[in-house]
Amino acid sequence: MRDAREFNFDGLVGPSHNYAGLSFGNVASFNNVRSASNPRQAALQGLAKMRELAARGFAQAVMPPQGRPNFRLLRSLGFSGTDADVLARAYREAPVILACAWSAAPMWTANAGTVSPSADSLDGRVHFTAANLNNKLHRSEEHLQATRTLRAIFADSNRFVVHDTLPSVPAFADEGAANHTRFAASHGAAGVEFFVYGRVEFDPSAPAPKKYPARQTLEASQAIARLHGLDPARTVFAAQNPDVIDQGVFHNDVISVGNGNVLFHHEQAFADEAGTLDALRRALAGVDTELQSVRVASSQVPVADAVASYLFNSQLLSKPDGRMALVVPHECRENPAVSNYLAGLVASGGPIDELVEFDLRQSMRNGGGPACLRLRVVLTDEEAAAMHQGVIMTEALYARLVAWVEQYYRDRVEPQDLADPQLALECAAALEELTRILGLPGLYDW
């Protein structure tokens, strides 16, 4: 076992942050469709979270935003002329497609990909696979920039492997780390990787939701496990409860979160709760670790309250004293059932003994909480030194990014602004400056 730390790569909210309501099945996103957004506030809220967690000693890094609008998408769908012509015609003829091209969704880097640390992989390298996100048009091209960004940050091929994305077909629908977690005695120890899926493409008789789409397939999860060289004895696949998908639980990280040897989950999270927990216990026994299940009953927190507050879309972080902190949004305090539950949780003497609360309202209104905003990457000291250092959150980087946001970001974006060519120019200028701040020249393929 080697010493290792878990880096949280938080998505830096881009200057095009807007509420387009594009994500059918994501209740918060759908409820706020076409309302005015505040990109400046959204970015500053995310940066405040990064700064605070870094100050507490957690390893924290920044994942840069993707370029928007996506002119490549618009031009591939028949909109031509100057950039201004493309925007005007798309706004006039296909406003939903235009909104897809402006999507702010890459801020949720839990969907950027799936990561397996070197302690779990056959070849002893850290493996990444960018998610194809093919369930939604507005997310279906994110993997192109996500792969490019991951390869820029993790360029040392002796230590890192960034795979091509899975085929963008329904059978391999992949939504990244939002449906994946890892359990281990410590970050540097060999662990158990846990994949949760919503449907089985090649078994039509398998349970599936009826109202909302299941975004992750078993076949995609199995393919990633093979690509990453995972030990089958330390890999667990579990079916998500289709009934909770139909209640707005579009990813597993809306209904459960894991860290270390702890699984914090709702009793309705899995199609077969007893079988899932038993499979995890048996796999963890193989790495001399005992699973701790922190189970939330429906009588304590109904699924509707869990979704509204994003209780489980929280970050579960290991502290130096061996206990854990739960990073939650303000909405958890504002929901009576969730607030009461959390008060009892931290007083219970269990593994979770601290709540860390953040105002992430701009992200929450668009359908993503603390866990959506971050991609977990476990790195040894040597691996951390080998990655690009310019993305690691420090007090100096925080100050530069705050000044950058205040210079380039608007404080209000409304639906009609997506037709404004000036907004497109502002976004491009902002990201070009960001590449200089982070030391990543050529990051964007304009």
Per annotation, catalytic residue among 6, 175, 193, 383: 175
175 assigned to active site: yes
Q: How far is CA 247 from the centre of its chain?
A: 20
Which one-letter amino acid corresponds to residue 168? S
DSSP state of 70: -
Per annotation, catalytic residue among 180, 228, 251, 265: 251
Per annotation, catalytic residue among 17, 372, 383, 427: 372
| Residue 167: cis peptide before it, omega within 30 degrees of 0 | no
Look up tokens 């969907």; give the residue.
111
Question: What separation in angstroms does the CA of 202 have from each of 185, 219, 243, 413?
Answer: 35, 8, 20, 43
| Cα pseudo-dihedral 10, 11, 14, 18, rounded to 10 | -110
Q: Rounded to whole angstroms, how far apart are CA atoms 416 and 423?
A: 11
The residue ranges of DSSP E strands in 156-191, in sequence order, are 160-163, 180-183
Neighbours of 359 (CB within 10 A): 15
The response to whether 101 counts as a known ligand-binding position is: no
Q: Which helix (H) or strand (E) holds 236?
A: strand 235-239
Q: CA-based angle 367:372:374, to the nearest 5?
A: 150
The response to whether 26 counts as a known ligand-binding position is: yes
372 assigned to active site: yes
Coil/strand/helix, residue 303: helix
Look up tokens 């099945």; give the residue.
25
The response to whether 29 counts as a known ligand-binding position is: yes
Q: Rounded to whole angstroms, how far apart are CA atoms 132 and 112?
A: 9
Coil/strand/helix, residue 193: strand
The response to whether 22 counts as a known ligand-binding position is: yes
Question: What separation in angstroms does the CA of 70 have from each of 65, 298, 409, 436?
Answer: 12, 42, 18, 21
The response to whether 24 counts as a known ligand-binding position is: yes
The response to whether 138 counts as a known ligand-binding position is: yes
Q: Rounded to whole angstroms, how far apart are CA atoms 436 and 121?
A: 34
The residues that bridge with 327 in the sheet, in sequence order, are 315, 356
Question: What separation in angstroms does the CA of 60 have from each of 57, 298, 357, 374, 376?
Answer: 9, 34, 17, 9, 10
The response to whether 20 counts as a known ligand-binding position is: yes
330 assigned to active site: no
The response to whether 23 counts as a known ligand-binding position is: yes
373: its two tokens: 């905003």
Q: Which helix (H) or strand (E) holds 317?
A: strand 315-318
The response to whether 21 counts as a known ligand-binding position is: yes
Q: With contact defined as beta carbons under 8 Å apart, do 5 and 379 qualify?
A: yes
The response to whether 139 counts as a known ligand-binding position is: yes
283: its two tokens: 């796999």
**Binding-site residue ranges:** 20-29, 111, 138-139, 215, 253, 366
Binding residue ranges for substrate: 20-29, 111, 138-139, 215, 253, 366
User: Catalytic residue positions?
Assistant: 175, 251, 372
